[in-house]
Amino acid sequence: MGGRFILLLFLLSHFQVKGPGIGLLGNSKGGELGLAISSFLKGITAAVIINGSVAVVGASIHYKDETLPPVGIMKERIKMTKDGIMDVVEALKSPLEDQKSFIPLERSDTTFLFLVGQDDHNWKSEFYANEASKRLQAHGKEKPQIICYPEAGHYIEPPYWPLCRAAHHVLVGGPIVYGGEPRAHAMAQLDVWEQLQTFFHKHLGGKS
């Protein structure tokens, strides 16, 4: 996290950054890191998390004298599709079981927007967003906005990007299914693009 702290200081001091805070946008693993950065570092005013995990996945996160270990993986729960592609959506242990892996987002003063593809097969993004909301509220924090998109998959990228329905996953060591139906996913891309811009304009002091 040290390098990210230096990057944050650079952004806060940049002449094109209005300040006093900045916004983060993270998709997938980037969403997980966005939650971690918002939890450990100050100066993050707003963060948009697109299908991010509330638990650390794959490798530990270190900040000063703290270490968050990765959530456990249950390989026996990986399924195969009829096309021979792995479906890993049930493979990660619940962050409620591996509490040490749960990112301590209750420390954050960031305002969050969670954007969720309900056909995400990489991990349970809707469940994660709801658990993040519960944890924030349990600690007296503002209830985050959660917007769900039926039949949208894992990688909700900018409008008109092709749907990434399946691809090689480095951690898994082979191709996995990411989910999503083409039309619904394309419509989600359009709305997500509008929603995140509106959110950042509202919370970062710009004009919509």
Q: Cα(204)–Cα(93) distance, rounded to whole angstroms?
A: 35
Q: What is the pLDDT of residue 206?
A: 55
Tell me, yes or no, if 120 is annotated catalytic: yes
Q: What is the pLDDT of residue 207?
A: 54
Tell me, yes or no, if 208 is annotated catalytic: no
Tell me, yes or no, if 62 is annotated catalytic: no
Q: What is the pLDDT of residue 208?
A: 46
Active-site hit among 53, 108, 120, 125:
120
Residue 37's closest CA among 92, 110, 132, 115? 110
Secondary structure letter of residue 101 according to DSSP: G
Phi first, then psi, for residue 35 (nearest 5°) are -65, -40
The pTM for the full model equals 0.91
Question: Could you tell me what percentage of the chain is helix, strand and coil, using 3-state DSSP and rounding each to the nearest 5?
Answer: 35, 25, 45
Asked if 94 and 54 touch (Cβ cutoff 8 Å), the reply is: no
Mean pLDDT by 10 residues, the chain (208 residues): 63 73 92 95 93 95 93 93 93 90 96 98 97 97 96 96 92 92 98 96 75
Active-site hit among 101, 121, 133, 154:
154
pLDDT in tens, 70-94: 999 999 999 999 989 999 999 999 9
Q: Cα(126)–Cα(146) distance, rounded to whole angstroms?
A: 9
Q: What is the pLDDT of residue 13?
A: 75
Residue 126's closest CA among 17, 49, 23, 41? 49
Domain spans, the chain: 23-204
Residue 188's closest CA among 132, 131, 125, 127? 125
The CATH homologous superfamily to which domain 23-204 belongs is Alpha/Beta hydrolase fold, catalytic domain (3.40.50.1820)
Strands annotated E in 22-84: 22-27, 44-50, 61-63, 66-68, 79-80
pLDDT in tens, 54-75: 999 999 999 989 999 999 999 9
